[in-house]
Structure 1
Amino acid sequence: MIQLDYCLKDIKGHLRTLSLHRSSEEDLWCISEGEVLLARISKMQDDWRQLSGEGLSRELVRGAGAFIERNYYGSAPLQIRNRWPSIIGSVEKKSDSEITIICKPQVNISTFRTIFCKHVSRLFTQEINMELRVYSYNFTQDFSYRLEVKGRR
């Protein structure tokens, strides 16, 4: 499950925290407040739209969609996984400073280490400082890489 906390001010100026979540890559994004599911949203033709639930403002749906794009689709785990889809099985952000990467069964981790360490920093233009822990599919081999990128480009 993927979950993001989206903070915003309502029309009366009160701070609200909404949960933006989905169970898997194939599911729609859901907007909840507390335990109450408010809506399901999806990006269609470059625009975020509400597909079900109570009538939320167009601005709230677009704001939630923009937040998802910045904090999920632009996230380090997704960029890493998308760069090597035939090699990497899963990527999980453990904390703000640590990411765990698990390779697929056919991957030679020693060979991948050289490629990964040489190219991973090129994926990012924003400043980032993280510990990347890469494991073989059965956790018998691993390596760590300190990713440090100063803002550039």
Structure 2
Amino acid sequence: MIELEFFSRKANNEILIYQMIQFSPEDPWRLLLDGELLGSMEKSEGTWRQVSGTDFSPSFLRELAAFIDQQNFNHLPLALTSRWGNLIHKVIIKSDREYLVVCKADISFRSFEGIFSKFVSGLLKDEWSVTFQVFNHDFSDDFTVQAKPTVRQKNKTGWDQQLS
């Protein structure tokens, strides 16, 4: 499940806090305000559309869609396959905290485990830990990595220092 908070300012400067929930990657996004379901929306063939509920204005639907599209959980699969494209076949989002990674055939799976475990944290942008369950090409072997985002802080000399 993925849960997001979307802040919107009304004409009178009142701020509304919407809750956006997606229970699984196959499900539409549900939009709630104060616990009341307003409607749902989904992206199909690259286009966002509302699938149920009170009609959202076209501009509000575009704002919601842009907000979802900008979230890091949407970009992380591409970042992983870009970084290790010769090793990773597919990345599947289970939630914003959990991903399945399927490797290509004819790679050194144990070597990849060491590399992936050491460097995947550098690709995380959100503030929470993420679990990666990584499988070899035929699902006969796997490993799990609980990755925490890398936090960088400038020290007194101006050089970045990595904190865990």
Q: Which has the larger radius of gyration?
A: 2
Stretches of structure 1 lacking an aligned partner (at least 5 in a row): 95-99
Is the CA contact (8 Å cut-off) linking 1:128 and 1:149 kept in structure 2? no
TM-score by length of 1: 0.60
Which amino acid is the alignment partner of residue 111 of structure 1? S
| Cα distance change on mapping 1:128 and 1:7 into 2, 3 Å | closer
- In structure 2, how many angstroms separate the alpha carbons of the residues matched to 1:39 and 1:5? 15
| Cα distance change on mapping 1:89 and 1:117 into 2, 3 Å | same
Which amino acid is the alignment partner of residue 3 of structure 1? E
| Cα distance change on mapping 1:129 and 1:73 into 2, 3 Å | closer
- In structure 2, how many angstroms separate the alpha carbons of the residues matched to 1:142 and 1:57? 43
Could you tell me which residue of structure 2 aligns to residue 18 of structure 1?
18
Which amino acid is the alignment partner of residue 57 of structure 1? S
Deviating 4+ runs (over 4 angstroms): 78-83, 88-94, 100-104, 117-122, 126-137, 140-150
| Cα distance change on mapping 1:20 and 1:93 into 2, 3 Å | closer
Number of residue pairs matched by the alignment = 138
Superposition deviation, residue 42 in structure 1: 1.7
Superposed CA RMSD in Å reads 4.2
TM-score by length of 2: 0.57
CA deviation string 1:7-52 (max 9, x = no partner): 1102322100001111101001111112111011122454422221
Superposition deviation, residue 73 in structure 1: 4.6
| Cα distance change on mapping 1:74 and 1:35 into 2, 3 Å | same
